[in-house]
Amino acid sequence: MNVEFPVELSGAKSSTLMWAHEYEVGAQALQQLRNIAALPWVHGVRVMPDVHLGKGATVGSVIAMYQAVSPAAVGVDIGCGMEGVLTSLTAADLPDDLSGIRSRIEAAVPVGFRSHDQPVSIRRLGLDPRVSDRLWGSFNELHKGVQQRESKAQKQMGSLGGGNHFIEVCLDDDDRVWLMLHSGSRNIGKELAERHMSIAKELPHNADLPDRDLAVFLSGTPQMAAYRRDLTWAQTYASQNRATMLALVMRAVRESFTQEIRFDEPISCHHNYVAEEHFDGLDLLVTRKGAIRAGAGDLGLIPGSMGTGSYVVRGLGSERSFHSASHGAGRRMSRNEAKRRFTVDDLIAQTAGVESRKDAGVLDELPAAYKDIESVIAAQSDLVEVVAHLKQVICVKG
């Protein structure tokens, strides 16, 4: 049992428990958390050890609301999350030069702003087509402002995006090879989120909020129904996007070896989403923005940075955290600050031994821009148990 955490956030108007000390969290992020906790619909806030400033709502926060949802508490990348799978390969099977495998992965999965030239055939990848059939069969029910985006969304299915999204080949402590990736709902999720955020800000009940970015939708209203519809669709899109990418990466890896390769059941988890859950005798809408569900037995993935490794974890079902844990190491400085303070030489040094990009385009993603992943894991020992520690040998960035 972790005897150090949680701690109460000072000055919070509703129950706010933190798996981090206030002195470790920036003043702006602390104020964001207090603003969130002051909303009249909030039952409680839980703050993960990877907490840092976000837009409206803090990244690394779990917000349980009664009959209300704040789109900013989900974020613009609806359904963003992780996918990982253990392979039958071992370190001994990997070639000394990993650039060929990296090139195959980059050829299979578009990164950055790129997308596929044509929609990926789900059936050819061996995925269940019913999920995609439901997605595209209900596209015309989404917000009218995205109706011209269907073709783009179809071509972006199975693409990585940029920023902190990645695809990795990793080794665990037993030298077994894992594949892992991090991505979300691409442009269509962002467009849906921003359109609903704009709608929420104009609703009368949000007029006097301490931060208009925290505007909420209320249960029983047409605006809430429309948001929940589009939110659910985007969460499904994000999950299918990751499943498609993982299938493409698995195929690229298969084509890199002559022997047969087996894959375990994938581990999949959202970390920007809303779920209906029951705590403290109440049916609540629980928003995790930069947090994963860590119910008893739930498997999850908590990545560090592109040079420090990641963790496979199993949830312990902590009621105090609303069955939640961190989604990663969490940034300790902004992207602009990282670019000011570090050079490409720093990036090269900090990603030594990893087959990856080593250029100014990913400088803001270097390990020093992130919190120490081991400390983040240690701070939540009462929330998750470690199943495996992974260290990347290949990292593909957008």
Whole-angstrom distance, CA of residue 33 vs CA of residue 12: 8
Q: Determine if residue 204 is labeled as part of a ligand binding site.
A: no
Q: Which of 52, 196, 270, 327 is catalytic?
A: 327
Q: Determine if residue 48 is labeled as part of a ligand binding site.
A: no
Q: Determine if residue 303 is labeled as part of a ligand binding site.
A: yes
Q: Determine if residue 310 is labeled as part of a ligand binding site.
A: yes
| Cβ neighbours for 139, distance < 8 A, ≥ 6 positions apart | 147, 150, 153, 233
Q: Determine if residue 397 is labeled as part of a ligand binding site.
A: yes
Q: Determine if residue 143 is labeled as part of a ligand binding site.
A: no
Whole-angstrom distance, CA of residue 311 vs CA of residue 304: 8
Q: Determine if residue 327 is labeled as part of a ligand binding site.
A: yes
Q: Which residue type is seen at 176?
A: R
Q: Determine if residue 275 is labeled as part of a ligand binding site.
A: no
Q: Determine if residue 121 is labeled as part of a ligand binding site.
A: no
| Cβ neighbours for 143, distance < 8 A, ≥ 6 positions apart | 192, 195, 196, 226, 230
Whether 43 is catalytic is no
Q: Determine if residue 166 is labeled as part of a ligand binding site.
A: yes
Q: Determine if residue 193 is labeled as part of a ligand binding site.
A: no
Q: Reduce the DSSP state of residue 38 to 3 states and report it.
A: coil
What kind and span of H or E run contains 101?
Answer: helix 99-108
Q: Determine if residue 165 is labeled as part of a ligand binding site.
A: yes
Long-range contacts of 35-40 (CB under 8 A, 24+ apart): 35/209, 35/210, 35/211, 35/214, 36/61, 36/63, 36/70, 36/73, 36/214, 37/9, 37/12, 37/13, 38/12, 38/13, 38/14, 38/210, 39/14, 39/65, 39/68, 39/70, 39/209, 39/214, 39/216
Q: Determine if residue 100 is labeled as part of a ligand binding site.
A: no
Check residue 161 and give left, alpha or beta (phi > 0: left; psi -120 to 50: alpha).
Answer: left
Catalytic residue numbers? 327
Positions at the binding site: 77, 164-168, 182, 271-272, 303-306, 310, 327-330, 397
Known binding positions for Mn(2+): 77, 165, 182, 271
Q: Which residues participate in the annotated binding site for GMP? A: 164-168, 271-272, 303-306, 310, 327-330, 397
